[in-house]
Structure 1
Amino acid sequence: MTPKPLDLGILFDVAADRGVPTEVRLSRPFDLAPDGGVSWRMPALAELVRDTAGALRAAGAGPGATVAVVKDNHWDIVLLACAAARIGAVPALLSADLPPDTLAVLLARLDPAVLVAAPRVLSTVDMAGLVERTVALPGPGTVPAGAVPLDDLRGHRAPPPYRRRDDDPLVVHHTSGTTGVPKLVVHSTRTIIRRLAGFEAVRWPLLASRRTDTVASAIAFHHGRAVPWSVSVTWLAPRRMLLLADRDPAVAGPVLRACPPSTLETDPATYVRWTPLTAGADTPFRDVRLYVSTFDAAHPPMVRAYLGASRRRLPVWMQGWGQTETGPLTFRFLTRGSLAARGRRRPTTRDLGRPVPGRTRLRIVDEHTFQPVPDGRPGLVLARTDARCLGYVGEQDRWDDKVDGPWWNTGDIGVLSRGALRLLDREVDRVPGGSCLELEDVLEDRLPAVVEATVLAAPGGPAVPVLVTADGRLDGTAFRAATRDLPPLTEPVVVTWDELPRTATGKVRRAELRARLRTAAVPGTGRWT
């Protein structure tokens, strides 16, 4: 029988009542409970959520109110979302790594009744006129005047769980913001819990968490992926959930070695940073049967390294593609065999597989006329799914512009061939007749010294390759040999990892990078970003 997904506010109460035996292991203590240690069980998590719900109610949050959460990355972002949902409020989960001016714009759009934030965040953004009341989390830094420490609000009894309608707003997430100020995406219980978490909460072969699994996640926990992941994995009750707050390999490596995962999900940028950990007999990935990657383009050398690190007979890399507004739209499984060929012009990681059966549909249309194009021709990718978000906070016109009846304009350029999608580029950043993403794949595959490649299209001229290496240097002869059969490219801009502007999920902020390189002109309209 397909399990009915849970209400977010009572997720851990129900898990405790069901006797879910899962141990939750943390890479460091919660910021929400710094004295709580790194090992938790469901009853203790339920108690922490109830206590936090009482504190939020005492701070002035209640049914229909927005509670903005801005803190350092950790899974307690999801716990704060549960606490807000429990009292009928709508949690808006924002990355603490957003630039202060961007954060101020988003808070102005949200107009939250309560802001819950880390002291270091409160010291960087002028909250005057942006929020009604501010609650400061435990942590380093000075609590500014007017903010109430969370510890001062503890001990208030939480009201009974609030029951909202399935189509009412439940949670707000923001998009990555690679091309500008992120959008604030509103999801309901029906879209993000019933449709997304509910689908994952089924014991699908290969994909679903098993009772013997150690399921690891090292994502940005403010992201729209965190809520459905948390609900579905908690429901499936694996032996252990491993939550990594810090994705620095020097910090994450020892945690992973002490608690080797059997399934692992993180963003491609983190996979790239952790690639050195794939080498050696003591690699923490030796027992991984399933890798999951959904946030950005994953390139062949990296995927190859992780599949090779597993000692399992047939480890699998599940590559998903979707958006914060829709959840996953397509998926594809990659194996060692499917990645055996190297250096091709059509790397396999650009083929993103087929729509989720019975859940999503895709079609390709001409970007000017919006008429369907023949199979095998590039065009704008439109998606149809019941998990589509409700809208954008403060930018409803922008959301309306991307909607065509039941179809959603993803703003991506792709090709459908026999039902499978090959992704080419974002419409705003495309190579006419080619693909920046394909060039990035090829450059990484042919240049072992390149850790990450970003190709910026330039209207009327050759594209600009920005290449990350360990020391910021690259052999010119090797570059020319690797690009001999590629479309014209400028001389590469070679940088180190830390020199690229990034989002909280590790994506390159392309608009900011263009501005730094003085190649601000974009080839697309950017209308659907």
Structure 2
Amino acid sequence: MIPSKPIHLGTLFDDLTVRGSTTAVRLSRPLDIAPEAGVELDVPGARSLVLRICGWFAQAGVRSGDRVAIAKRNHWDYVLLACAAARMGAVPVSLSAHLAPSTLAILLRRSDPALLVTDTALLRGARDAGHDPSLHAARTLVVDGTVEGALTLDDVRGGNAPPPRRPHLDAPLAIMHTSGTTGVPKLAVHSTRTLMRRLAGFESHRWPILGSRRDDTVTSSFSFAHGRALAWTAGVLWLSPDALSVITSSDRAEAEPALRLHRPTVLEAQPATLARWQHHLDEDRRWEGLQRVRLFVSTFDAVHPSTVRTFLNASERRAPVWMQGWGQSETGPLTFRFFTRRSLSRSQGVGATTRDLGRPIPGRTRLRAVDPRTLRPLPPGTPGLLFCRTEALCLGYVGEEGRWRDKLVGPWWGTGDIGSIDRTGAVRLVDREVDALTEGGCLEIEDVVDERLPRALECLVLGVTDGPPVPVVATEDGTLDLGDWKVAVEDLPTMADPMVVTWDELPRTGTGKVRRSALREKLGLPADGRGTGRWT
């Protein structure tokens, strides 16, 4: 009997095949693990690939209960590799190729995998940097070539997929790392109950506006090493839209042709990708591939009002909608809010904001703001440390159980974000606690600068302990007129003169977030701001 919602990660494509899914999977480039499959798959074809991978893993010595680490160039095959590991009763550990070699080594030591699945570029690059990731795995499998000391696909072909094993609902199912904007990422452990029943299960309903429709082309462009990729794939495919489309890079040379060829009706991308595309849209007025979009979705990070406005205006739909979600790798989504052209039509400045995050998901999440020192609940509208309650909370952190327990206060989980909750339950985000400023919120200042200074591709405000906060502005050529800057910020809290960089000089995570601690180090700023960092 096939369940009414996606429950099992390992047999996801088996269940979809039995249900008769006709969704086409369209790729902006061929899969790294199977380039011969081309750029379009159907669900039975994806199932065949998962079974083939299971045979590879069996030949490589993977057994039920083992961990399989995946660290390679960004692509949807992260999902297929994770499904194959889970089908065998192993636990996939998804690690971004954007991780610094030293950081990757730390996470591999913590996860202690029986097999590392990687590619030649990552393995050789890490070795050249003095951090050989294969030293931290029992065996290493390279999917796209030959590297000394590692298995190749030719070494593991021909193995048979063992029978599927379905873990207990509350046993570890998959491990993924957090963003790592403030240091070494945490390894969050999710179960079938938290990842598949709570997160993917929620997305597998045909909700008004949000749910995939039969005629939709649902397109994504984000880090497929992120846990979001598993819930997104399961939730979207369960509703059988016409097509699921994958764009693996924010680079315009790959993204624009894919959008034009497979014109989306639903588009989800990480905010850094959208911000990069936004400036091309400003130059070209619009891309042909965005005309049919009825729903834009942004998660992972804060998004600027100008970005939302630009993309809503690029659609030729009568009333396109933008859904902004707020959550964490440990919890999944906690709130969401819808924007329309009308709701963002106010004049530039402090009026338009995307820091109002909406309300908790009814029946699924609860939130409260507490005093960061006493942890006592605060009155409505008072900014404080945001705590949540959700049944989708991860099981813990691999190798850092004490750190995970320290963020729990009874049944409440400390998100590390500063914000307020009004009498209606609406949440307004102020800052990450570790990035908090003495006066004002860095996120709102960054929004205002984005609205008033079109040349700024990105603005980051970094607090320091012994002076005014330091703004860092990225422009196309790394230059900025100081007079324009002073006009833009004349009514904002006092700041130091801006430090100007190019877009590519900003250190980022796999999901496009700026690694603020790394940026401080790169610019020679003090490592500590005004926040305690306890809740990171």
Common fold by TM > 0.5: yes
How far does the alpha carbon of each residue in 1:37-70 deviate from its partner, in whole angstroms, 9 at most, with x for none?
0010011110100010111112111211100011
Give 2:160's aligned residue.
157
Rounded to whole Å, the distance in 2 between the matches of 1:2 and 1:381 is 35
Rounded to whole Å, the distance in 1 between the matches of 2:456 and 2:243 is 35
Moved more, 150-159 or 357-366: 150-159
Rounded to whole Å, the distance in 1 between the matches of 2:255 and 2:31 is 16
Give runs of aligned pairs for residues 120-519 of structure 1, distance below 5 A: 120-123=121-124, 124=126, 125-127=131-133, 129-139=135-145, 142-145=146-149, 147-278=150-281, 279-280=284-285, 282-418=287-423, 419-519=425-525
Task: Judge conservation of contact 1:253–1:284 (CA < 8 Å) in 2.
Answer: yes
Query: Which residue identity does 1:458 align to in structure 2?
Result: V
SS of residue paired to 1:342 = coil
Structure 1 residue 129: deviation in Å? 4.2
Task: Judge conservation of contact 1:174–1:184 (CA < 8 Å) in 2.
Answer: yes
Rounded to whole Å, the distance in 1 between the matches of 2:374 and 2:482 is 43
Query: Which residue identity does 2:46 align to in structure 1?
Result: L
Structure 1 residue 181: deviation in Å? 0.3
Task: Judge conservation of contact 1:174–1:223 (CA < 8 Å) in 2.
Answer: yes
Task: Judge conservation of contact 1:424–1:437 (CA < 8 Å) in 2.
Answer: yes
Structure 1 residue 464: deviation in Å? 1.0
SS of residue paired to 1:217 = strand
Rounded to whole Å, the distance in 1 between the matches of 2:451 and 2:300 is 20
Task: Judge conservation of contact 1:346–1:438 (CA < 8 Å) in 2.
Answer: no
Runs of at least 5 residues in structure 2 that lack an aligned partner in the other structure: none
Task: Judge conservation of contact 1:2–1:202 (CA < 8 Å) in 2.
Answer: no
Moved more, 505-514 or 453-462: 453-462
SS of residue paired to 2:10 = helix
Give 2:528's aligned residue.
521
Using the size of structure 1 for normalisation, the TM-score is 0.97
Query: Which residue identity does 1:365 align to in structure 2?
Result: V
Give 1:104's aligned residue.
105
Rounded to whole Å, the distance in 2 between the matches of 1:280 and 1:259 is 20
- TM-aligned CA distance change 1:282 to 1:297, over 3 Å: closer
Rounded to whole Å, the distance in 2 between the matches of 1:172 and 1:154 is 26
The runs of at least 4 consecutive aligned structure 1 residues that moved more than 4 Å come to none
Rounded to whole Å, the distance in 2 between the matches of 1:218 and 1:4 is 24
Rounded to whole Å, the distance in 2 between the matches of 1:402 and 1:390 is 13
SS of residue paired to 2:457 = strand
Structure 1 residue 203: deviation in Å? 0.2
Rounded to whole Å, the distance in 2 between the matches of 1:432 and 1:285 is 41
Structure 1 residue 119: deviation in Å? 1.6
Query: Which residue identity does 1:211 align to in structure 2?
Result: R
Task: Judge conservation of contact 1:98–1:503 (CA < 8 Å) in 2.
Answer: yes
Task: Judge conservation of contact 1:277–1:284 (CA < 8 Å) in 2.
Answer: no
Rounded to whole Å, the distance in 1 between the matches of 2:183 and 2:73 is 21
Query: Which residue identity does 1:323 align to in structure 2?
Result: Q
Query: Which residue identity does 1:334 align to in structure 2?
Result: F
Structure 1 residue 383: deviation in Å? 0.5
Task: Judge conservation of contact 2:385–2:433 (CA < 8 Å) in 1.
Answer: yes
Moved more, 398-407 or 273-282: 273-282
Give 1:7's aligned residue.
8
Task: Judge conservation of contact 1:299–1:441 (CA < 8 Å) in 2.
Answer: yes
Runs of at least 5 residues in structure 1 that lack an aligned partner in the other structure: none
SS of residue paired to 1:4 = coil
How far does the alpha carbon of each residue in 1:271-316 deviate from its partner, in whole angstroms, 9 at most, with x for none?
0111145344653111100000011110011111000000001101
How far does the alpha carbon of each residue in 1:189-218 deviate from its partner, in whole angstroms, 9 at most, with x for none?
000100000011000000011110000011
Structure 1 residue 469: deviation in Å? 1.2
Task: Judge conservation of contact 1:347–1:438 (CA < 8 Å) in 2.
Answer: no
Percentage identity across aligned positions? 56
Rounded to whole Å, the distance in 2 between the matches of 1:347 and 1:269 is 19
SS of residue paired to 1:74 = coil
Give 1:57's aligned residue.
58
Task: Judge conservation of contact 1:253–1:277 (CA < 8 Å) in 2.
Answer: no
Structure 1 residue 348: deviation in Å? 2.1
SS of residue paired to 2:241 = coil
- TM-aligned CA distance change 1:281 to 1:132, over 3 Å: closer
Q: CA RMSD in A?
A: 1.4
Rounded to whole Å, the distance in 1 between the matches of 2:487 and 2:142 is 55
Rounded to whole Å, the distance in 2 between the matches of 1:334 and 1:154 is 49
Structure 1 residue 130: deviation in Å? 1.1
SS of residue paired to 2:26 = strand
